[in-house]
Amino acid sequence: MKISRVFTFIVREIEEALPAIIFFAVGFSLIELTTQLFLDAYVERAFNYMVAVVAALVVGKAVLVANALPFLRRFDSAPLVVPILFKSAVYWFVVFVFRMLEHLIEYSSSGGRLGGIREYRETHYPWSQFAAVQIWIFTLFLIYTTAAELIAVFGKDNFMKVFFSRGFASARASRH
């Protein structure tokens, strides 16, 4: 009986995180692709797409953690732009904390000591690169949260019809 409840819980968590994981896997892969295109003449980055997918798993989990925060629904009755910006900022901050912890764990597992964090960070992951990724993460969260909030307003079926049905495209054209 306990194993069944644990399995059900795990499946529910995966189902809840899957849209975020897929969205961010695609988004992070696009970030990696554009980075490779810009730096193609300078650096070869063959396995970073796998890093992008793993990062999407982390972000998917961060979304689940943020969704469990009691204050996340604080602005749900405000105009739609407010909860979109608020939730995007909260998600972004949770991922920021996860990424900082990831780098601290990596540093400490490599035998680092407290006084050498700054030098380690600068040689292994400069702030400019960290900041660029955080800007993209926030942009992706704006898109993801906007879609999630629109689905909450319209319902999944209506959202899919509006965005992916020819009938709505022709109705739009007839309004002009």
Q: pLDDT of 154-175, one tens digit each?
A: 898 888 888 888 766 565 655 5
What is the C-alpha separation between 6 and 52, in angstroms, rounded? 28
Asked whether the predicted pLDDT for residue 44 surpasses 80, the reply is no
The yes-or-no verdict on residue 94 having pLDDT over 70 is yes
The model's pTM: 0.73
Helix axes 166-175 and 156-164, enclosed angle (nearest 10) = 70
31: Cβ–Cβ under 8 A, 6 or more apart, which residues? 52, 133, 136
| Residue with more model confidence, 19 or 110 | 19
| pLDDT at site 53 | 76
Please report the pLDDT score of residue 29 as a whole number.
85
Token reading at 143: 């898109």
CB atoms under 10 Å from CB of 26, counted, come to: 14
Contact 54, 102 (CB under 8 A): no
